[in-house]
Structure 1
Amino acid sequence: MSTDEWKRRCESDMGLQGVPLPDTVDWKSVHDKNPLGRNLLRNPAPHGLTKDSPPPEPELTGMPPCGPPRFEPEGDFTGWITSREVLPYDSSGIPPGAVVCHLPQYSWFSMEQVVDLKAEGLWDELLDDFQPDIVIEDCYEESQVHESIYQLHVKLLGADKQTVISEHTANPTEDLSNFSHTWKEVSHVFSGYGPGVRYVHFVHRLKNSFMVELFPTLVTGSAVLVRPTRTNC
């Protein structure tokens, strides 16, 4: 097909009516990649879980695990950059003179990705002039590990990967008196963010607790979506 035919096909198949469609774009490549409405994060469920089913119940054996202790959650983290930050022991709630055999050791487990929007098939005029909604979605496991178990920080970056054009942070507090062990959804829509966005930096941190064995906070359904709509003109 010709360039114009591919362009018309993209306009029809991806709902691009009213979106700038310059002739300089490789519309066959755009159609093949289909970047609009597709999750641009790689490996969005590294623990092999889905939000359509409840999180698995932890196995409480009462016995130390065989082999060396595990300090990071199990999973396939292909596509993610991971890191761990061990936090100091918190002894603030221990009465003077009390004898404590074990204290929980908390740590943050960070997972991050950088999405290259142009490499995924988007084009300059779409990002700069039309500025489609960029939707962030995530689900984390409600637990009683700690009152702060999840943090999200997403930045829209310029072409130099340094300039922050817009950003969003979520740091919810858990109600430890009301426990249902379900998925808690987090979302945000970037709109009207201005020209120049070329990358999305997505990072979330999950708090783990270690006392004899590891009690991780799990995550699933992470997503970066670009929709052919805009809520702020």
Structure 2
Amino acid sequence: MSTDVRLAVPLAVVEEILLNLPAQQVISVFRLVCHEWKELVDSAAHWRERCRREDLQPCDASRPPADWQMFYFLAKKRRNLLKNPRAEEELSGWEIVWNGGSRWAAHGTRKPHPDNTITKCFVTSYGLCLKRQLIDLKKEGYNLAFMDHLQPHIKISDWYIPRCDCGSQYQICVELLDQQKEVISIFQPEPVFFPQWNDEQWCEMTHVFKDYGPGVQFICFTHGGKDTQFWKGWYGIRVTNSSVEICPAAER
């Protein structure tokens, strides 16, 4: 494209055209056309408008992203990296670490979950039941250079509930690992205990990894529990809707 043709097209028209093209193509091709187009593509206004049009907005509007381009790409890639988080495929996708008592099982939710689309959960027994997934960030599209340079937040969430008629224990451990699977950072709160004759309420465990340093390539998510009265069957803690997400840093 000649300089004369570029100058003949107002930048406002150019920007409208670019906003309707794939973002990756805009960066890898059209950003290189000329200095004016590079400035346009590199501007915060361009990426803020892309976010507005695609309804990608920070959770807290009073805290806009420091880098709208980074926010856009992280928000577009964002998804739950755990497979089968709601027990809809029985125990598929999970590695069983401990399978005590009557073993892990997938049942319907005894009490409705706050998200009424969730109808199944994983249930534990009278012996310790733990299961885990190992997430390879490179295979999920987040390579080492990306993670090291951007240091995006890593948000984990897990929902759990006891039975009202039986005491139970819930526990979780999430580790950020390097290429050799050595621990870089860990979230491992104390186990949560519920007494018999509790009010059987759904609870959410959340944590956000920030400023975890370079080298993260794997995330190991492990959770589970048991009942504390040694009753045969499935009276232990129930878990569902687990998630691990790579998030824009602007999110609380």
TM-score by length of 2: 0.58
2:146 aligned counterpart, secondary structure: helix
Shift of 1:116: 1.0
Aligned counterpart for 1:113 among listed residues 124, 130, 133: 133
| Structure 2 CA distance for partners of 1:212 and 1:124, relative to 1, 3 Å | closer
After TM superposition, list the pairs within 5 Å mapping 1:54-73 onto structure 2. Answer: none
Equivalent residue for 1:4?
25
Q: Distance in 2 between matches of 1:186 and 1:120?
A: 24
**C-alpha RMSD of matched pairs (Å):** 3.4
Equivalent residue for 1:91?
none
2:91 aligned counterpart, secondary structure: coil
| Structure 2 CA distance for partners of 1:165 and 1:231, relative to 1, 3 Å | farther
Aligned counterpart for 1:196 among listed residues 215, 226, 230: 215
Q: Does structure 2 retain, via aligned residues, the 8 Å contact 1:157–1:165?
A: yes
Aligned length: 174
1:189 aligned counterpart, secondary structure: strand
Q: Distance in 1 between matches of 2:247 and 2:77?
A: 9
Amino acid at match of 1:35: K
Q: Distance in 2 between matches of 1:207 and 1:106?
A: 5
Equivalent residue for 1:17?
68
| Structure 2 CA distance for partners of 1:6 and 1:84, relative to 1, 3 Å | same
Q: Distance in 2 between matches of 1:2 and 1:140?
A: 39
Shift of 1:173: 3.2
Equivalent residue for 1:42?
83
Shift of 1:151: 0.8
Q: Structure 2, unaligned stretches of length 5 or more? A: 1-21, 29-40, 42-46, 58-66, 102-124
Q: Deviations over 1:94-132 (max 9, x none)?
A: xxxxxxxxxxx8311111001111211123333102201
Shift of 1:3: 5.2
1:107 aligned counterpart, secondary structure: coil
Q: Deviations over 1:12-37 (max 9, x none)?
A: 4678725399xxxxx9xx99xx532x
- Pair 1:186 & 2:200 matched: no
Identity %: 29
Equivalent residue for 1:128?
148
Equivalent residue for 1:228?
248
Equivalent residue for 1:173?
192
Q: Which has the higher helix share?
A: 2
* Larger Rg over CA atoms: 2
1:126 aligned counterpart, secondary structure: helix
| Structure 2 CA distance for partners of 1:226 and 1:20, relative to 1, 3 Å | closer
TM-score by length of 1: 0.62
- Pair 1:216 & 2:225 matched: no
